[in-house]
Amino acid sequence: MRAVVFEKFQSAPVVTEVDRPVPGPGEVLLKVAGSGACHSDVSIYADFTADNPAGIRPPFVLGHEVSGWVEELGEGVAGVEVGSAHLVYGPIGCGRCRACSRGQDTYCENVASMDYLATGIGRDGGMAEYVTVPVRNLVPLGDADPVAAAPLSDAALTPYHAIKLALPHLAGGGRFALVIGLGGLGQIAVQILTALTGATVIATDMKPEAMERAAAAGAVTVPGGEGQVEAIREITGGQGVDAAFDFVGAGPTIRTAQASMARQGRLTVVGIAGGTAEWSFFANPYEATLTNTYWGTVEELHEVVAMYRAGQIRPDVERFSLDDALEAYRRLEEGTLTGRAVVVP
């Protein structure tokens, strides 16, 4: 079958022929419907080296944002209908530690002894015609369009997890949220904030068209550059934002978020650009929290699917064939996509 393979660090992946996988015990074989291209893939193949903090080693098939139809059941799997449509919950932990027992494979306590982190991160992923996944990682889509739903697995789940943890800061009248970086994750973050909170959502990106799309989803937009923090603070009546979400994670974006925060606010860095911030008694508003989040739980993916089916999350998708997958990554790198790139084999 055709697949997009990450073969070595600091070089582009290749589209090549690989063996069709066989589902092991407790796994299913999925015929891939769609596989989203995430900026994390770019970091993995373009920036990571052999001593990366995640312990990722090539080669493997990319694609950690996957949907598909059940094609074949592995040994011991029952109760899943062949032909039914599912999303893949990407992270795969040991399945028996405390984190995994609450559906949070992202924070598996035994990660050091695992060969991979997730479908498409260390283990073969969904940028291929077929993929195998453990049956406990399937989240049913019912009759929802699986191609349009593929971005839910990461571009929606990751902001959903970050936002859900920040909800106590956004409950009540007169609250403000800030979203920095309006790409695959950031656009959906605006939709989730609008659906789950009554907060005013302030959004920013370097690209005017990305801000236009966020404005159409209900955000107030503020361009970058000189005076940005003052403009954000002015919208909040001077108090600052109660929750900030940085989907870039570069030094300047973290500093913008930090300077825009209210007292007792919460800043979540989701983007992995690797920027740093000064964190000291006098550098921050009183009782402000700085945190980071990684992906989400399988239970939250069920909740994300419910929001999608209710029309509250509407991923903007640009479809690419498997042979055009490298073009999808090129456009993601150069920042010229208008929606999440989904590879449709």
Q: Give alpha helix (H) positions in 155-272.
A: 157-170, 184-196, 208-216, 228-235, 251-260
126 contacts which partner out of ligand NAD, Zn ion, none, CB within 5 to 8 A by kind?
none
**Does residue number 182 form part of the binding site for ligand NAD (CB under 6 A)?**
yes
**Does residue number 184 form part of the binding site for ligand NAD (CB under 6 A)?**
yes
Which residues between 125 and 154 bind ligand NAD (CB under 6 A)?
154
Nearer to ligand NAD, 40 or 236 (CB): 40
Which residues between 77 and 116 bind Zn ion (CB under 5 A)?
93-94, 97, 100, 108, 110
Which residue of 100, 163, 244, 250 would you call a contact of ligand NAD, by CB under 6 A? 250
Site string for Zn ion, 205-224 (x = CB under 5 A): --------------------
CB of 129 to ligand NAD, least distance (A): 23
Beta strands in the chain (DSSP E): 2-6, 14-17, 27-36, 60-61, 66-73, 85-88, 118-119, 122-123, 130-134, 138-140, 176-180, 200-204, 220-221, 241-246, 261-269, 289-292, 317-321, 340-344
Which residues between 11 and 50 bind Zn ion (CB under 5 A)?
none
Question: Which residue minimizes CB distance to ligand NAD?
Answer: 183
Q: How many Å apart are CA 289 and CA 296, to the nearest integer? A: 19
**Does residue number 247 form part of the binding site for ligand NAD (CB under 6 A)?**
yes
Which residues between 33 and 62 bind ligand NAD (CB under 6 A)?
38-40, 43
| Listed ranges 73-81, 125-133, 164-172, 180-188: which one lies at the site for ligand NAD (CB under 6 A) | 180-188
Cβ-proximal residues to 141 (8 Å cutoff; 6+ apart), any chain: 67, 85, 86, 87, 149, 305
**Does residue number 71 form part of the binding site for ligand NAD (CB under 6 A)?**
no
Question: Closest by alpha carbon to 44, among 329, 248, 342?
Answer: 329
Residue 182 CA, distance from chain mean position: 12
Q: How many helices (H) and strands (E) does the chain have?
A: 10, 18
**Chain residues in the site for Zn ion (CB under 5 A):** 93-94, 97, 100, 108, 110
